[in-house]
Amino acid sequence: MSTENSPIPHESRPPLTLRDLAALDIETLKGVGPKRAASLRSAEVHSVLDLLRYYPRRYIDRTREAAIRDLREGEEGMVLGTVTRVEQRRIRGNRVMVNVTVADGTGTLAVTFFNQPWRAKQLYEGLSVVLFGKVDSFRGNLQMASPIVDLIGDQTGKIVPIYPQSEKAKIGSADVARWVAEALRRAEPRSLADPIPTDVRKAQGFIDRHTATFEIHQPESMASVARARRRLVFDELFAIQLELVMQQRLRQHTEVGVGHRATGDLTGQMLEHFGFPLTAAQKRVIGEITNDMHDPHPMHRLLQGDVGAGKTLVALHALLSGVEGGFQGALMAPTEVLAEQHALGIKSLLDGLQVEDTVSMFPTRPLRVELLTNGVPTADRKRILAQTISGEVDIVIGTHSLIQESVGFFNLGVVVIDEQHRFGVEQRAVLRAKAKGDKEPDVLVMTATPIPRTAAMTVYGDLDVSVLDELPPGRTPIETKWAAGPIEEASMWNSVRDEVAAGRQAYVVCPLIEASDKIEARSATETYEELTGGELFSLTVALLHGRMTSAEKEDVMSAFRAGDIDVLVATTVIEVGVDVPNATVMVILDAGRFGIAQLHQLRGRVGRGEHASTCWLAGEATTADGEARIEALIGSTDGFELAEIDLELRGEGTIMGERQKGQNDLRLASLRRDKEMVVLAREVAIDLLDRAEASAADSASVTDALSALVDDAKVMLGSTDTEYLRKN
């Protein structure tokens, strides 16, 4: 394996690709035996490529930072020094205290560890360490208690990389640095291949991959870290974008869809019924969807819109456009309550509409919309199923039950999936496959959980995205208040009673309990009992939770809709889409435990009518993050703005997680910090694919260049992720 022993002069061998590096097992490195290899594997480092992508989490600039002299009491600090003394002793309760002294020529620092006896073995005189922690003083001397310790061994160089270390896997920063150095030394003679075309590199001011890989691990200066990072971040984001854009194009080239011939007849009548003019955003988005639907390629579009932006109308427009051309439409909602509500609203909007009848002797027949959930009685269900297959039903509204085996369509042409974050990708695919014949229906996915544009490019990058970024006029903004203590809570309940007295209605959302449906239901029941016996005594209060049967839930919801119930005490089952314009107060108990998106969704249940609405966030925030979330909600009602804040607070892992469970492809890149790079990566991916498509088949060099890039992307994303993207 050693390059030095190779009979072939190294210059003649091609540069190493990512695939080459991925094929080199970690154990082929000098200094990595079976035991170390096992540790590394447990940290998901299997190949030399994994190791080279095991990036430093920070750097220490020996020339500038990290002097003991510069530590400030009461602040966090980082120092690099040498251990000069280690002492271990027993203290009260038979616990062990390890005292260590570290010096660096500018001063000395006392370091203490409680109950970490192994530190006495880990640290010894003469060892170079980096310490990171809060600085106190003890009897006039600087001290750190239980700091983070990085062993940097005998690393030289002005900038010392600090690698993520794993106590459990027994991987220290110095070990990683040594193995990385070995890997780089071995790669040096052949150098690392760079498939990004030179003109792109030049235009973007990127350094080449070889240099970037060396500089991220063994930088000369912090400036060289920055340019290395810039290039490697691009590579990560580019791999994802290339995969997604290719996926999109592949579909465009291979899938055959329906070229809908909408007449505008039904949609026109529906809009007339509706009575309000469309918002500019609705017009724009309807235009985008109509274009997609006319096109014989199947639509794969995501509709992002804040709560209350009027997505339902857009969805209905799409469904009707399909029906106009003689096709069926399906609308899938995440819950029965929501499916039921959609059915009610849509049926009333479409009341009296006639469609062409090709079967009977009459030229037209009434448009048929049917609800198909598990709550529908069996006999009705059977009938609706049969009539869906025969084509007598035009629009079917349902939940997951729509994708059950038994549901077949006559000619499904449009599918709308509401609140997509609740649906798996597989479910989408199954529904799409319900279309008879070889034509794929158009698919519109709607989400009320806005995510920032650049994050959407990564998470939904294989879909076209439309954004409904405008609320219909005449909404009174919702006032959000924090009832952090008993006094504010008292005025909160007062305001609930006042609103009810004025003829309005209220929601009370119970504390979030993730343990189980059952426990959550029990706690909701307790809250309900407490409130009806106390704060909400004498009001008509009802309970809604996930353990109730569909029929029970429907009864409660329709009574609430009818105004027969003053206050609805509920779990998060009401989170999405519930639309009762007369409800003007939302109380969220123990609000600090909910996420931003969830709070925003819940708040969106009020402020839907002509009356001014209030949202109360109750309870102390038990964590700093909880407080930040509450503050964010008070400060903004804009879902996209809140999504940005959410991303800041939670990091990208969770957003990626919505689509890609498990491994996060981003080792170095951050959807938060590297927004411009996401956009750039997508532009470059599109540009390179355009070039490859434009070049004639005889231009082998373009195709070769592209396949090198594609191969890189596959290696970087790992086979499972590639498959995942494939499946969409």
Say which entry of Mg ion, ligand ADP, none residue 563 contacts (CB below 5 to 8 A, set by partner kind).
none
Which one of Mg ion, ligand ADP, none interacts with residue 572, CB within 5 to 8 A by kind? Answer: none
Contact 297, 440 (CB under 8 A): no
Instruction: For the CB of residue 312, give the shortest distance to ligand ADP in the complex, in Å.
Output: 3
Of 389, 395, 290, 387, the C-alpha closest to 342 is 395
* Residues whose CB is less than 8 angstroms from the CB of residue 74 and which lie 6 or more positions away in sequence, other chains included: 134, 135, 136
User: Which of residues 129 and 271 has its CB atom nearest to ligand ADP in the complex?
Assistant: 271
The interface partner of residue 282, options being ligand ADP, Mg ion, none and the CB cut-off 5 to 8 Å by kind, is ligand ADP
Q: Which two tokens stand for residue 177?
A: 């640095």
DSSP designation for 257:
B
- Which H helix or E strand runs over 143? strand 141-145
The answer to whether residue 310 forms part of the interface with Mg ion (CB under 5 A) is no
Of 310 and 398, the one with the shorter C-beta distance to ligand ADP is 310
Residue whose C-alpha is closest to residue 127's, from 155, 99, 105, 87: 155
Helices (H) and strands (E) in the chain, counts: 24, 23
Angstrom distance (rounded) from CA 269 to CA 331: 20
Binding segment toward Mg ion, per CB under 5 A, in 236-244, 577-585, 636-644, 673-681: 577-585
- 368 makes contact with ligand ADP (CB under 6 A): no
Q: Does 448 participate in binding ligand ADP (rule CB under 6 A)?
A: yes
**From the list 190, 217, 608, 714, which residue makes contact with ligand ADP (rule: CB under 6 A)?**
608
Minimum gap (Å) between residue 52 Cβ and ligand ADP: 46
Which residues have C-beta within 8 Å of that of residue 526, sequence separation ≥ 6? Answer: none
- For residue 509, the minimal CB distance to Mg ion (Å) is 18
CA–CA distance, 711 with 592 (Å, rounded to integer): 45
- How many residues belong to the site for ligand ADP (CB under 6 A)? 17
- How many residues bind Mg ion (CB under 5 A)? The answer is 1
Rama region for 172: left / alpha / beta (φ>0; ψ in -120 to 50; rest):
beta
* Pairing between β-strand 76-91 and β-strand 128-138 as defined by DSSP bridges: antiparallel
Nearest residue to ligand ADP, scored by beta-carbon proximity:
310
Looking at the Cβ atoms of 228 and 446, the one nearer to ligand ADP is: 446
Shortest CB 408 distance to ligand ADP, Å = 28
Give yes or no for residue 577 binding Mg ion (CB under 5 A).
yes
Integer Cα distance of 671 and 652 in angstroms:
6
Residues 21-41 as b/e (b if ≥16 CB within 10 A, e otherwise) read bbebebebbeebeeebbebbb
What is the longest distance spanned by two Cα atoms in the chain? 100
Query: In the window 551-580, what residues touch ligand ADP (CB under 6 A)?
Result: 577, 579
Q: Figure out which of the listed residues 241, 279, 304, 420 binds ligand ADP, where binding follows CB under 6 A.
A: 279
CB atoms within 10 A of CB 437: 9
Q: Is 312 in the site for ligand ADP (CB under 6 A)?
A: yes
Question: What length does the chain have?
Answer: 728
The smaller minimum CB distance to Mg ion, of residues 441 and 577, is found at 577
The alpha carbon of residue 442 and the mean position of all alpha carbons in its chain are separated, in whole angstroms, by 24
* Cβ at position 331, least distance to Mg ion in Å: 11
Q: Which is nearer to ligand ADP, 566 or 579 (CB)?
A: 579
With CB under 6 A as the contact rule, the residue among 56, 81, 310, 334 that binds ligand ADP is: 310
Residue 279, contacted partner among ligand ADP, Mg ion, none, CB below 5-8 A by kind: ligand ADP
Q: What is the CA radius of gyration of the chain?
A: 31
Residues 313-342 that bind ligand ADP (CB under 6 A): 313
Binding to ligand ADP (CB under 6 A) within 287-306 occurs at 305
Partner interacting with residue 309 (select from Mg ion, ligand ADP, none; CB below 5-8 Å by kind): ligand ADP
Looking at the Cβ atoms of 472 and 563, the one nearer to ligand ADP is 472
Residue nearest to Mg ion (CB): 577
From the CB of 271, what's the least distance to Mg ion, in Å?
Answer: 18
Considering beta carbons, is residue 292 or 579 the nearer one to ligand ADP?
579
The CA-atom distances, in angstroms, between 437 and each of 233, 322, 410, 426, 474 are: 44, 17, 10, 20, 46
Cα–Cα distance for residue pair 58/163, rounded to 1 Å: 7
Taking the complex as a whole, the smallest distance from the CB of residue 598 to ligand ADP amounts, in Å, to: 15
Kindly state the tokens that stand for 56: 């430093």
Angle formed at CA 683 by CA 678 and CA 687, multiple of 5 degrees: 150
Stretch that binds Mg ion, among 315-323, 463-471, 517-525, 575-583 (CB under 5 A): 575-583
Contacted entry of Mg ion, ligand ADP, none for residue 313, CB cut-off 5 to 8 Å set by kind: ligand ADP
Q: Which residues pair with 99 in a beta bridge?
A: 87, 112
Q: Which of residues 623-652 bind ligand ADP (CB under 6 A)?
A: none
- Cα(367)–Cα(395) distance, rounded to whole angstroms? 8
307 binds, among ligand ADP, Mg ion, none (CB under 5 to 8 A by kind): ligand ADP
Stretch that binds Mg ion, among 202-210, 354-362, 574-582, 625-633 (CB under 5 A): 574-582
Whole-angstrom Cα distance, residue 67 to residue 65? 6
Q: Which is nearer to ligand ADP, 240 or 320 (CB)?
A: 320
Q: Applying CB under 6 A, which of residues 38, 169, 278, 679 lies at the interface with ligand ADP?
A: 278
List the one residue from 16, 266, 307, 656 that touches ligand ADP (CB under 6 A): 307
CB nearer Mg ion, residue 133 or residue 345: 345
Question: In this complex, which beta carbon is closest to ligand ADP, that of residue 191 or of residue 279?
Answer: 279
398 binds, among Mg ion, ligand ADP, none (CB under 5 to 8 A by kind): none
Reading across the β-sheet that carries 395-398, which strands appear in turn?
Answer: 369-372, 395-398, 328-332, 412-417, 442-447, 300-305, 464-468
36 binds, among ligand ADP, Mg ion, none (CB under 5 to 8 A by kind): none
* Torsion (CA) 64, 66, 71, 75 in degrees, nearest 10: 110
For Mg ion, the closer CB: 375 or 577: 577
CB atoms within 10 A of CB 146: 15
* Residue 536: strand, helix, or coil: coil
Rounded Cα gap, residues 457 and 672, in angstroms? 13
Helix (H, G, I), strand (E, B) or coil at 417: strand
The stretch near ligand ADP (CB under 6 A) out of 213-221, 247-255, 307-315, 552-560 is 307-315
- The binder of 472, among Mg ion, ligand ADP, none, by C-beta within 5 to 8 A per type, is ligand ADP
Instruction: Decide which of ligand ADP, Mg ion, none touches 592; Cβ closer than 5 to 8 Å per partner kind.
Output: none
The residues of the shown chain that bind ligand ADP, judged by CB under 6 A, are 276, 278-279, 282, 305, 307-313, 448, 472, 577, 579, 608
Binding residues for Mg ion (CB under 5 A): 577
